[in-house]
Chains A and B, each alone.
Chain A
Amino acid sequence: MIVRVSGEGQYRLPDSDAERLNELDNRAVAAVEQGDETGFKELWNQMLELVASDGNELPIEELVESDVILPPRDITFAEAQGEFTGEGLIPD
C-alpha cells in the first residue's frame, strides 16, 4: 500500500500494516476529540514510526495515487483539532 505523508512524500508499506495504521489513526482522532494532546502526539509518533520502519520512500519520478494520506509530520494539536472538527487544513 502507498502512504503519503502530506507535504513530504510517498512510501510503500506492506499491506499488512493497514490494520495497525488504521487503528492508530482512529485512536489518534479519538485522542483529539477528548482534548488529549499528549495521547495524540504519542499515537501520531507511532504512526510516523511505522511509516519510517516499514516504508520505502518512492522515488520522486514515480507517479502513483496514495491509498492513505497522512497529515503533515509537524501537524500541531490545534491544527489536528481544526482538522477533525470541520475546519481543515484546506477550508471547505
Chain B
Amino acid sequence: MPGMGGRMSTVIKSKISRLLDRAEDPGETLDYGYQKQVELLQNVKKGIADVVTSKKRLQMQSSKLEQQVVKLDTQARQALSQGREDLARMALERKTLAQTELQSLDGQIKELENQQEQLIANEQKLRTKIEQFRTKKEVIKAQYSAAEAQVRISEAANGVGEQMADLGLAIQRAEDKTETMRARASAVEELEQAGAFEDLTQLGGGQDDIDRQLAELTSGAEVDSELAKIKAELGSGGGDAPALEQGEKEGSA
C-alpha cells in the first residue's frame, strides 16, 4: 500500500513482521507459533486461577470480619447492660473500624470479581481463535508441501503468519493483564493477612498507626451515637435500667 506511513500502524506492523522474520520453514514456524500460543494461554489460565484463589481467601477474610462486627456489637450491648460503658465504647470503636475495613475489603473483592470475569471472557475468546488458527495452519501446511501455485500460497502464508503473530500479540497482552491482576490480588491478600484485621483485636494497646488514630477520631461521633442508640434500646427494655444508670455515672466520672 503506497503512502501508508501512519506511525502507530507502522510500529505495530514492523513488530509483527519482526516476529515473522524468524520464519524459515513456514510449516515449522506455524507449528511453533501454535505451540507457543497454547503455552501462553496456559499461563493466562494459571493466572486467572490464582486471582480466583486470592479472591476466595479475601471472601473468607470478609466473612470473618462480618462475624467480628456482630460479635463486637453483642459485646457492646452486654457491657452496657452491665454498666460498663468504657468497655462498650471500646467494643464499638473496634466495631466501627471492622466495618470500615469490611467495606473496603468488599469493594476490592467486587473489583477483583469484575476483572476476573473479563479475564475469563478474554481467555475463552483467545482459545477459540487459537483453535481456528490450528485448523488454518494445517490447511496452509498441506498446500505448502503440495507446492502448488507458490505465489498465491506464499501470500496466504504471509496472511496466516500475520494472523499468527497478531494472535500471539493478543495472548501476550492477555497474559500481561492477568499477571497485573494476579499481582494486585495477591498484594491485597498480603495486606489483609499481615495487616489491619489482626490488629483490630489489639486495638487500644500501643496503637501508633496514624491512619488508624485518625479513623478513631472520625469514628468517635459514630461510636457516641451508637452508644446512645443502644442505651435507648436497653433503657426502653425497662429491666436493665438500674444497671444503665450506674453505667452512665461511671461513664461520666
Contact = CB atoms under 8 A, between A and B. Distances in A.
Nearest to B132: A60
B169 A6 contact: yes
B23 interface: no
Interface stretch (B158-166, B221-229, B240-248): B158-166
Interface string A64-89: 11111111100000001001100011
B237 interface: no
B56 interface: no
A52 interface: no
A6 B6 contact: no
Interface residues on B, range: 20 to 34
B140 interface: yes
Nearest to B165: A90
Interface in A1-52: 1, 4, 6-7, 15, 18-19, 21-26, 28-29
Given A63-B140, A70-B12, A84-B7, A7 B132 contact: no
B101 to A, nearest CB: 30
Contacts of B49: none
Given A25-B6, A70-B9, 17 more contacts: A4-B166, A7-B170, A15-B1, A21-B4, A21-B6, A24-B6, A26-B7, A63-B140, A63-B155, A63-B160, A66-B162, A67-B1, A67-B4, A70-B8, A83-B12, A88-B15, A90-B19
